[in-house]
Amino acid sequence: MQQFLTYGRQLTADELELIALDDGMAPKPNPPNMELFREQIDNYESLFMEIEEMESVHIFSAWFQVDLRPFRQALLNTVSKWGNMFKQHLVDHVTSSLSDLASFIREADEGLQQPVKEGDYERLVNVMGYLMNVKERQLMTDDMFEPLEQTIELLKFYDQELPEEVNVLLQVTGGSEAAPAHLPAVQSAYTLPCT
């Protein structure tokens, strides 16, 4: 899985050796896109269907009968685990991305609510730091929602249930359509009150 997440594919033994030797000809990291995830999941799902159609009993040399059901079941379990591993990675990615954003918004919201008294430069600098962090995070946040939306759609396509936490986090962050606009709203909602 780690090779797929780093290089977008399974590496050959020669490529692994080049990486170990830190050779200039070694493959460069190239994280997978949603299409590569879809291909991997489809591959495991079609393999699952193919294995499911295997015969339960096979007769060799007209007299030796072998029950393939335990082997087939073990193989189905393994293939299912591999396919689910890719789906679970996507669920974890969506959950952690939204959780990080919600945490940042909560922290920025709390930091920006600090009243700044006249002459309190330390608190003024602290609040300005939060404003700068919001501005810096805005670009990353704007770019994160389209891929997250694609990921959620891919998971729905495979009937993968998202944890309730994801729905809660989408509401906290303002939902997938409103979330990119949420950070500027946080930023503009706070002026530096001088009391």
Q: What is the pLDDT of residues 13-47, one digit of tens each?
A: 888 888 888 888 888 888 888 999 999 999 999 99
Instruction: For strands 64-67 and 57-60, give the pairing.
Output: antiparallel
Give the structural domain span for 4: 1-32
Residue 22 is assigned to a structural domain of this protein: yes
What single string gives the DSSP state of each residue in 146-166?
A: HHHHHHHHHHHHTTPPPPHHH
Q: Does 26 lie in the same domain as 74? A: no
Q: Does 100 lie in the same domain as 178? A: yes
Q: Does 42 lie in the same domain as 7? A: no
pTM (predicted TM-score): 0.75
Residue 194 is assigned to a structural domain of this protein: no
Q: Does 79 lie in the same domain as 4? A: no
What pLDDT is recorded for position 110?
Answer: 84
Q: What is the pLDDT of residues 59-71, one digit of tens each?
A: 888 899 999 999 9
Mean pLDDT of the chain: 83
Q: Does 1 lie in the same domain as 62? A: no
Residue 132 is assigned to a structural domain of this protein: yes
